Amino acid sequence: MPTCTQLPAADDDEPLCNPFLADSMWPGAQRNSYAQGSSPLPGPTGPADRVGATGAPVFTAYSSQYADGGRAIWASTVGVTGEILKLDADTHQLIDKYVPGLEGGETFTAPTVSGAYNLLDADDRLIVGTGDALQVFGDAAPGVRTSAIERLHVLELPEEAVCGDDAPVGITMTYRGRVAFATQNGVVGTVPRSPRRMTADRLRLLSLNGPDCDSVPADSLEQVSNSIAADEDGGIYVVTSEALYRLEETRRGPRKVWRSTYGGAGQSGAGRIGAGSGSTPSLMGTGPRDDKFVVITDGQEQVHLDLMWRDRIPRDWEPVRPGASRRIACEVPITYGQEPGAPSANEQSVLVRGYSSVVVNNLQGLDDILSLLPGQVQTLTQLLSGLPGNVPRGVQRVDWDPRTRSCEVVWENPDVSIPNGIPTMSGATNMFYGIGARDGMWTLEGLDFDTGEVLLTVPTSPLPTSNSFYAATTIGPDGSIITGTFGGLMRFRQCAADEECERLDPLEAAVGQPPSDPEGLVNYLTGLPNPDPAG
C-alpha cells in the first residue's frame, strides 16, 4: 500500500493521510479527502511578488516527488475546451496543455461546475469528472516530470450512472482507494482508481433522488453543486440543494446512513452556482477522541454555519431550535461583524483547522440587481465582485468548544473582502489567506488566525484577469501560494530579504479593459440589456 511521507506526522490538527492520493502537500481539490482546505505548511508572511501562467483553473494539485527531485502542478479548467494543465512546480512554467476538445471531434458546451473538481491519485494520475465521463490523465512518459500529458482513460458514464441531463460534479478519494463522485442530479458512485479497472461494470451507485429519478420533475430533484468529502470510516458526505447526507461505502454501493435538512434549503441568489448550501462538506475532528462533525454553510438569507454530528448523536442532545434536526450541533448566524440580521452569503467551502471554522462573505452589494439575471449567467456576475460598491465584505471565525458543547464566535472582520475565492490557512504561520479586493485592486490578503487582524496585503491589478473567479488558494511546498484566476494561474512567492519585490502598476494593461461600471460589464459579458431593478 502507498504511504504518506510529505507532511508532519505529529500534527494533531491533520486528518489521517489518505495513502491513495498523491504523496504531496496538496493532492487535490480542498487539499484532502476531509476537504478542510488548510495546511500545516507555511505561506508568505511578508512582501511577495507574483507570476502568471496560463489557463483558468479552479483547483490545482501537486504531484509526488519525481526521481529528479522536482514536482509538477496539475489542474483541470472550467471552460469551453476543458483543457488540462501541467506546470513545473518550481518555475511555474507550462510543461504541457492538453485540450480534450481537439481530439476525436469532441465538442464542449458552455462552462459549468463539471470539471472544476479534481484529484491526483497515488500514481500521479489526474482524475476529473467532466461532461458525461470520468477522465484520467497522466505522463506520456511515466515518471518523467517534463513529459507531455496523455489521456490514459475515459469512462463514459452509463445510463444508470446519471439522472436525465446530468454531469459529474464532486469528486474525492475514499480511504479504500476508490474514486467517489456525485453528479449534478444526485447520483453518487464509486469506481476503482486504476484506469484498467475503471469500467462501467465496476461502478457502485446510489441515486439520492430514487431509482426512478428520470420520472421526478426537474424542479423537484435534489441537486449537487459542490464537491464531496470522505473519512477513514467509510463515510462519504454529500450536500444537495435540500439536505446533507452521510453515505457508507459498501461492496454493493453507497448506502444512506443519515440525511439531515438544513435552513434555507433550495434558496439561491446572485453569483450562486446552485441552490441551497454553497459549500463542499468539510470534516472536523481528526483524533480518535475528538468530537466529529460535518461543516457546511446553509442557504438562509443571513447565512448560518452548521456543524452536524458526523457519527452517533449524543443521547442527551436537544435540537438547537424547534423543528431543527437533532443532527445539527451548531447553527451560528454569520453576520461578519455587520448589522444584526443583515443579509449575508457564502458560496465557498468552509475553511477548517482543528475545531475552528472560517467563513467568507460572498454577498455582492448589487445582489438585488444581479439576481435578476438569468441563471445561466449567474456565475459571470462574479466578474463584477471586485468593483467598489459591489464588493462583498466580511470574514468570521467560529470555534467548537468540546467542554461546553457549543460554538463561539472568535472574531469578525467586517472590512476585509474575499469576494469569491476559496481561502486557506497555514498552521506554520498561523495565518488565514484569501484572494481579496481592496480599492478596486485584486490582492492577496493575510490575516492573523487568532485575531482576524490584517497582516499582509499584496496588490496585483484591477483587471478581471486577476479575479479569483471561484478558485482556491493553495499553499505550495516553498512557502508560496498559488491560485487560479479568470486570466490564468497566479503565484505569490515571499521575497528574500535581499531582493526587491515586484510592484504592479494599478493601471497595468488598462488598454482594452472591459467597462468598469457594473451594468456596462454585465452587458459586455453577456450581451444582455442592462438589468432593470424594477423587474
3-class state of residue 16 by DSSP: coil
Same domain, 490 and 370: yes
Q: What is the span of the domain harbouring residue 132? A: 54-154
User: Average pLDDT in the 2-7 region?
Assistant: 62
Q: Which residue has the cell 458552455?
A: 110
Same domain, 274 and 136: no
Q: How many domains does the chain have?
A: 2
- The confidence band for 368, taking pLDDT boundaries of 50, 70 and 90, is low
Query: pLDDT at residue 374 above 80?
Result: no
Is 182 contained in some domain? Answer: no
Torsion of CA 458, 479, 348, 191, to 10 degrees: 150
Is 338 contained in some domain? Answer: yes
351-390 in b/e burial notation, b at 16+ Cβ within 10 A? bbbbbbbbbbbbbbbbbebbbebeeeebbbbbbbbbbeeb
Is 518 contained in some domain? Answer: yes
**Which grid coordinates are listed for 502?**
515586484
**Which grid coordinates are listed for 493?**
512567492
What pLDDT was estimated at residue 291?
Answer: 97
Please tell me the least confidently modeled range out of 271-280, 352-361, 440-449. 271-280
Same domain, 276 and 408: yes
Which of 422, 426, 454 has its CA nearest to residue 435?
422
Q: What percent of the chain has a predicted confidence (pLDDT) above 90?
A: 57
Is 70 contained in some domain? Answer: yes
Query: pLDDT at residue 81 above 80?
Result: no
- Distance from CA of residue 494 to its chain's centroid? 24
Q: What percent of the chain has a predicted confidence (pLDDT) above 70?
A: 80
Query: pLDDT at residue 507 above 80?
Result: no
- The confidence band for 155, taking pLDDT boundaries of 50, 70 and 90, is very high
Across 386-502, where does the E strand assignment appear? Answer: 395-401, 406-413, 424-426, 431-438, 441-448, 454-459, 473-475, 481-485, 488-494
User: Average pLDDT in the 497-526 region?
Assistant: 41
Is 3 contained in some domain? Answer: no
Same domain, 375 and 511: yes
Please tell me the least confidently modeled range out of 13-22, 88-97, 280-289, 318-327. 88-97
Dihedrals φ, ψ of 220, to 5°? -105, -5
48, 444 contact by CB (below 8 A): yes
Q: What is the mean pLDDT of the chain?
A: 84
In angstroms, rounded to a whole number, what is the distance separating the alpha carbons of residues 209 and 216? 8
In angstroms, rounded to a whole number, what is the distance separating the alpha carbons of residues 15 and 2? 17
| CATH assignment of the domain containing 359 | 2.40.128.630
- The confidence band for 511, taking pLDDT boundaries of 50, 70 and 90, is very low
Write down which residue in 138, 154, 170 finishes a domain: 154
User: Average pLDDT in the 10-36 region?
Assistant: 91
Is 7 contained in some domain? Answer: no
What pLDDT was estimated at residue 397?
Answer: 98
What pLDDT was estimated at residue 266?
Answer: 52
- Better-predicted residue by pLDDT, 327 or 101: 327
Write down which residue in 126, 154, 182 finishes a domain: 154
Is 303 contained in some domain? Answer: yes
User: Average pLDDT in the 497-506 region?
Assistant: 49
In angstroms, rounded to a whole number, what is the distance separating the alpha carbons of residues 282 and 86? 27
What pLDDT was estimated at residue 468?
Answer: 83
What pLDDT was estimated at residue 504?
Answer: 37
- Give the tens place of pLDDT for each residue, 213-243: 888 888 889 999 899 999 999 999 999 999 9
In angstroms, rounded to a whole number, what is the distance separating the alpha carbons of residues 494 and 496? 7
Same domain, 143 and 287: no
- Give the tens place of pLDDT for each residue, 42-52: 998 866 555 55
What pLDDT was estimated at residue 527?
Answer: 35
**Of 72-76, 81-85, 375-379, highest mean pLDDT:** 72-76
What pLDDT was estimated at residue 223?
Answer: 92
Output the CA–CA distances (angstroms, integers) from residue 188 to 53, 143, 525, in the order listed. Answer: 34, 32, 34
Q: What angle do CA 194, 196, 197 make, to 5 degrees?
A: 70
Which of 88, 188, 169 has its CA nearest to residue 130?
169
Write down which residue in 123, 154, 185 finishes a domain: 154
Q: Strands 57-62 and 72-77, how do they pair?
A: antiparallel
Same domain, 272 and 131: no
Is 502 contained in some domain? Answer: yes
Same domain, 304 and 430: yes
- Distance from CA of residue 37 to its chain's centroid? 8
- The confidence band for 390, taking pLDDT boundaries of 50, 70 and 90, is confident
- The confidence band for 277, taking pLDDT boundaries of 50, 70 and 90, is confident
Q: Letter for the amino acid at 206?
A: L
Q: Strands 395-401 and 204-207, how do they pair?
A: unpaired
Please tell me the least confidently modeled range out of 147-151, 155-159, 439-443. 439-443
- The confidence band for 523, taking pLDDT boundaries of 50, 70 and 90, is very low
